[in-house]
Structure 1
Amino acid sequence: MEFSGKGGISTESGKLELLRQVAAGIAAQFGSSCEVVVHDLSRHPDHSIVAIVNGHVSGRKVGDGASAVVLEQMETNDPEPKDHLCYLTKTPDGKILKSSTVYIRNSKGKVSAILSINYDISKLLMVEDAVRELITTQEPQPSEPERIVNVNDLLEDLIEQSVALVGKPVALMNKDDKVKAIQFLNQNGAFLVTKSGDKIAKYFGISKYTLYSYIDTKQQEEKQA
């Protein structure tokens, strides 16, 4: 989805206003179970949501932070990301959503905003389960869907994933283990979260100086390779 070329909208504020209109239109078309979110990537990830319709679906509001998808785009800054369409997400309170993420580019081709659509299909899945019992005998369990979380919850999840990656509790980690865990956090956008450095350093029992030296270790290895 682009807004460049003749007759297009020339300003970023104009693009965001158009996205707000699009969000309102999509939500009106599909009803209160359809949440539509506009993220402005020029903002800090803690406050990237500039428009949201039917925010009760995920419990978010204007001014809230980025999801994992948004953090990933901010971290990688992929110049040509592919729209992520029709995948499952899960809210903290257990709702199952059918989601799509559309990347919006500016006149230079850089992704400057994200339009996300999240449709609550929880009730439909209940109906599907009831019908399945009537028409089938056995079927494999569906895989666990991705979760929609607020940015602070996301940091907690990333820390847990880093510990799981190493395979031992922090108390038993040596330097190499901690370097591995912290590099995982860096690669997955954890340090985009406000004051994440303080929290991560405290969690791993190291100073902030040591924390950033562990990140630099990977960068130096890549330069030497």
Structure 2
Amino acid sequence: MSKIMDYYKELVGFLGLVMGENCEIALQDVSDEKHCIVAIANGHISGRKVGSPLTDLALKFIKSEVWKEKDYICNYTGKTRNNKILNSSTFFIKENGKLLGMFCVNIDNSKFIDLSQEILRLGFGGGIKSPSEALTGISTVQPSLNTTYTETENFFENPEDIVNSVFKEFYEEKKIPTDRLTQEEKMELIERLESTGVFNLKGSISHIADKLMVSEASVYRYRSKLQKMKQGMD
């Protein structure tokens, strides 16, 4: 591990204690995308631990190379497996024009939002039907317009969760049976999976093939066909 990464590793525990139990600090080493978290404080917030994989949004950061243009991205939305909403920020760790890792801060404001809602209920009685609508998205720090990110980051404990999430969303959206996918629908699923960057994770091909009920060779053919289609459109 780079000396720079060692430096940030020391910061994880320190900031975890300083910021308290409602703030998760995670250091991600991008050289091993399947087991990227090398240090984490207050991991109870997202349920992750050392050895957990990159998130779907972190994979997109790498694929889009947004880190070449920005040093950090602040105050975007994170979502845990139990649908807890977090205020998330990522600092890109770079050396000699290469991305080494990501230093991530995820703040759980749910306790404060719940408390604020209760205060509103006590103060206004039934006058405010939906106080959460007024509170959702409020941050203690006003984000800079050039550092906000509109996509939601989902936190997973393993790479298979990313694949399962994409499939679940696809089936719910299309309202189709899981065992009757047409070739066009399989291609659309492959395209969605490509956008997450999950194909960069070791073992993902095998899991995707099982979910599609095809061979791994078929998954490679779908990806190749999709890339040729995109090249034809350029």
Change (3 A) 1:81 1:164: farther
**Equivalent residue for 1:131?**
119
Residue number among 107, 116, 119 corresponding to 2:96 in the alignment: 107
Matches within 5 A, 1:42-121: 42-43=31-32, 45-78=33-66, 79-81=68-70, 83-108=72-97, 110-121=98-109
Instruction: Give the structure 2 partner of residue 161 of structure 1.
Output: 169
The equivalent of 1:25 in structure 2 is 14
Indicate the RMSD between aligned Cα atoms, in angstroms.
2.5
Q: Is the 8 A contact 1:66 1:150 kept in 2?
A: no
CA-CA distance at 1:171 after TM superposition: 3.0
Larger CA deviation: 73-82 vs 214-223: 73-82
TM-score, normalization by structure 2: 0.78
Runs (4+) off by over 6 Å: none
Correspondence for 2:204: 196
Q: Is the 2:26–2:40 Cα contact (8 Å) retained in structure 1? A: yes
Match of 2:224 in 1: 216
Distance 1:60 1:170, change over 3 A: closer
Alpha-carbon shift at residue 211 of structure 1 (Å)? 1.3
Equivalent residues of 1:163, 1:181 under 8 A apart: no
Unaligned residue ranges in structure 1 (runs of 5+): 1-11
* TM-fit CA distance, 1:157: 0.3
CA contact (8 A) 1:198 1:208 kept: yes
User: Match of 1:58, SS?
Assistant: coil
- Secondary structure at the residue paired with 1:60? coil
Gaps of 5+ in 2: 138-151
- Cα deviation, 1:133-157, whole Å, max 9, x if unaligned, reads 22462446348x7542223322210
Distance 1:120 1:185 in 2: 28
Q: How many residues align?
A: 211
* Identity percentage of aligned residues: 25
Return the TM-score normalized by structure 1.
Answer: 0.81
Cα displacement (A) at 1:181 = 1.3
Q: What is the rounded CA distance, in whole Å, between the counterparts of 1:166 and 1:76 in structure 2? A: 27
Q: Output the amino acid matched with 1:178.
A: K
1:178 lines up with 2:186 in the alignment:
yes
The structure-2 alpha-carbon separation of the partners of 1:124 and 1:155, relative to structure 1 and needing over 3 Å to count, comes to same
* Rounded Cα–Cα distance in structure 2 between residues aligned with 1:173 and 1:82: 42
When structure 1 is superposed on structure 2, of 94-103 and 206-215 the one drifting more is: 94-103
Q: Which amino acid aligns with 1:137?
A: I
